[in-house]
A = this chain, B = another copy of it.
Amino acid sequence: MTSPTVQPTGATSPLSVFADIASNARSTRASLAIDAERALLDGIPHEMLSFSAGEEILADGEALGGTYLMLSGWAFRYKALMDGRRQIIGFVLPGDLCSSWIGGMGAMSHGVRSLTISRVARIDRDVIFQRLVENSALIERFRQVAAQEHTILGAWLLNIGQRKAPERIAHLFCELATRMRKIGLSPVDDGYEVPLTQQDLADALGLTSVHVNRVLQKLRERHFIDFRRGMISIQDVPALCAYVEFKDGYLSH
């Protein structure tokens, strides 16, 4: 269950909320529990929420009264059909927003659910508005974040619509590897921690978990990707990126 803990502070903090995250998080830490919060939340009144794995962070259709920033842990956004089928439409990593800013403060158009233990900062709408007025550069930063999300959605559409299972899986891992490196996760040695089950992969890629399993085995045999139990290692990252025409440009902002 959510265990909100209010920790309001008063000082001002320019646009550090997002601008600094990239630079500051480069402190190569190995765990998924990297806390981006230090640099982020100084001086911004917020409420801290904690979730255990598998909890609903935001429900589809829920009305928003603020912005939710993922501090540590992973989550995913998803849309579900009545008969149980569900599509994961994106992953939320530390430093990402659970609720896209462009969604405004209206109703969520998808749900958000935690994959691991995670901590989320909830920043009230009024605080956000005030910051936006004070600092117009923040708008630009929000816009960039939204643009990246938009681009990722397009990349996913291309991935699911046009590629076959092996390429789909590979492309997703390229994206995740790139994003993790950017925020300082990923020990680089011989594997990243990617807290996804094969079922999660299936839901994200429009496949069946059985099929994902079989394809993963082939990718393993061919020494392309070795993913098991939430741990992934990629033999030759550049080769894999070339294989699936992965361009990391859109993740570089």
Chain A contact residues, CB within 8 Å of chain B: 77, 79, 81-82, 85-87, 89, 100, 102-104, 106, 109-110, 139, 143-144, 146-147, 149-151, 153-158, 160-163, 205-206, 245, 250
Contact = CB atoms under 8 A, between A and B. Distances in A.
Nearest to A202: B161
B158 A87 contact: yes
Contact of A79 (B85, B100, B104, B154): B154
A162 B85 contact: yes
B158 A103 contact: no
Contacts of A81: 158, 162-163, 245
Contacts of A157: 79, 87, 89, 153, 156-157, 160
Contact of A161 (B144, B151, B206): B206
A-B residue pairs, 3 tightest by C-beta: A161-B206, A153-B153, A87-B161
A244 to B, nearest CB: 9
A118 B79 CA distance: 34
Nearest to A82: B245
Contacts of A139: 139
Contacts of A146: 102, 146, 150
Nearest to A206: B161
Contact of A86 (B79, B104, B162): B162
Contact of A150 (B79, B143, B144, B150): B150
A39 to B, nearest CB: 24
A54 to B, nearest CB: 21
Contacts of A161: 87, 160, 205-206
21 contacts: A81-B162, A85-B163, A86-B162, A87-B158, A87-B162, A102-B102, A102-B143, A102-B146, A102-B147, A103-B150, A103-B151, A104-B143, A104-B144, A109-B150, A110-B154, A146-B146, A149-B150, A153-B157, A157-B160, A161-B205, A161-B206
